Every structure is written in C-alpha cells, then in structure tokens.
Structure 1
C-alpha cells in the first residue's frame, strides 16, 4: 500500500516544510487567509483530478496538506523531506486489517489516508510546526 501511496503524479505545489509563494502565479488563485492570519490556504488540483489543500503559516512555511479525489496524490512530492520518515513508519506499522485507511504517526510528520477506490481522502502535517491556536481540526 505504501508504494501505491507514493507513486501517483501531482503538479504545481511545494512540499511540507517548504515555502508557499506569497503571490499566486498566473495559473493559481492567491492564497486565502484563515484563522485571523495564522494560516494561508492554497487549493490545487493535480493531474488525477484530486483536490489538494496546502496550508502554510503566516510566514509561508507549508505545515499541512489535505486531499480528496479519485486518485491518491503523489505523497513523495507532498511530503518532500518527510517521505522517508513516513515510509519508515508505514513499514513498521502493524497491519490492522483495514485496507482502506492508514495512520502513520512519527515525531516529525503525521499522515492519515483512506477511502475506497476513486474516493481517496487524507491529510499530512508537521505536528511541531503548528502555530499557537491552530489544531489539526483546522485542516479541512
């Protein structure tokens, strides 16, 4: 399952821990401001028609992604430098019999993913990077 999660293509965004551009390029809408300026949100659609929400702090550091759509996004691209930590955690997780959902908790990154075919949803975030007053419930 991990290999499948890391193989689908995504375009037009940075990666966890990277920097969200403060100005939209010509192909993207400008980021929205959330929670009185604590977060910026940019919504993208990948090549598989999956909607990806990219969350950044007010300084531009990307701290989370959420996704929903008919295909899995390219988690290797989304997770960037945290992809190896995620893979290590996924490989060490004991199978719980649920083939449609997974939760990998590492000190540096948390990834939740699931859904039936053509109905994938999930989120990934950097727990230590959440600004004061921001919770994982704010990532929709």
Structure 2
C-alpha cells in the first residue's frame, strides 16, 4: 500500500510527456529536455475506420499510437519500444487503475492484463522490447475491434 502511494505521488510530480491522455482530447507534442516527442502522422477517419490514428515517437524510441474518435476523444493508446512510456501522461485520470492492476498481479516482469472496470490494459514484453495497449470500452466506436489496434 505504501509503495503504491509513493508511486502515485512520484508519477504526479514528474513532468508529463507530450502524448494524448486516454479519455481526453489529443494533445500536441511539446518537446522538453527530459521528454521530447515528435508527432509523425495522423490518418484521417474513414467510413471503414471511424477513428483517427496518430503516431508519435518519444526520445526513448517508444512508438505511441493514439486512437481518436470523430468527437476528438482518445479511446485507446498503444505503445511499442525499448521501455514503457510515461503511463501517467498516457492514462491521465485512469493512472490509479493502472497502479492498482499492477499491485494485484504481483511484482515481476510478467505480462499485465487487466480487464475489469472501465479501463482495459494489456502490457507485456521483456527488457528492451515492451508493448501494450490501453482502451476504454465505452468509448470504442461501433464496429471497431480493440484487439486489432496496434
């Protein structure tokens, strides 16, 4: 319990990266000395895919995909890279759910899969190759399969 509280306090005091926050409007990337990021592309929504996918890369080499509804709300984020991205920035108000999921699965390097409540998280990999996704089922557009998001 004490470790969880300390992790939350540290995460809230650390600088935020320039990525969209799950459940909020996408944010424009802003570079800083500690967390520069570069927005690479945005694919527009089409009738076949009722969302926009935005890709960015952190200075650490993590690729982040943000999935945005036509109403300009991020319903999912995925990541792939040598380290886990700044989860506080990606998950926003859902970060405590992420911390709680991690504390219930134990401490270690195994996969983290949490499918309860409003937030779905899947994070797995090994040192140097970490990937995952987080999404809000209530915001996923009709006809979109979250399993297909990469």
What's the TM-score bracket when you normalise by the shorter of the two chains?
0.7 to 0.9
Distance verdict in 2 for CA 1:29–1:89, change over 3 Å: closer
Matched, 1:89 2:101: yes
Shift in CA distance, 100/91, structure 1 to aligned 2, threshold 3 Å: closer
Structure 2: segments with no counterpart, 5+ residues: 31-37
Cα distance between partner residues in 2 of 1:126 and 1:88: 16
In 2, the alpha carbon distance for the partners of 1:64 and 1:101 equals 19
Match of 2:26 in 1: 20
SS across alignment from 2:94: helix
Is residue 9–residue 74 contact of structure 1 (8 Å, CA) maintained in 2? no
Where in structure 1 are there 5+ consecutive unaligned residues?
A: none
Q: Secondary structure at the match of 2:39?
A: coil
List 4+ stretches of structure 1 deviating above 4 A.
Answer: 6-10
* Number of equivalences: 133
Q: TM-score, normalised to structure 1's length? A: 0.80
The root-mean-square deviation of aligned C-alpha atoms, in Å, is: 2.9
- Deviation digits for residues 43-89 of structure 1 (CA, Å, limit 9, x no counterpart): 00012110000001111100111111111101111000101122223
Shift of the 70–133 alpha-carbon distance from structure 1 to 2, 3 Å rule, reads: same
Q: CA deviation at 1:12?
A: 2.2
State the 1:10 CA deviation.
Answer: 6.6
* CA offsets 1:63-116 (integer angstroms, 9 cap, x no match): 1111111111011110001011222233233x4x97331112231111111111
Residues 114 and 9 (structure 1), Cα distance of their counterparts in 2 relative to 1, 3 Å cut: farther
Q: Distance in 1 between matches of 2:81 and 2:41?
A: 22
Partner of 1:123: 133
**Contact map agreement 2:124 2:131 (CA 8 A) in 1:** yes
- Paired with 1:70 and 1:62, the residues of 2 have a C-alpha distance of 24
Q: Which has the higher contact order (CA 8 A, sep 6+)?
A: 1
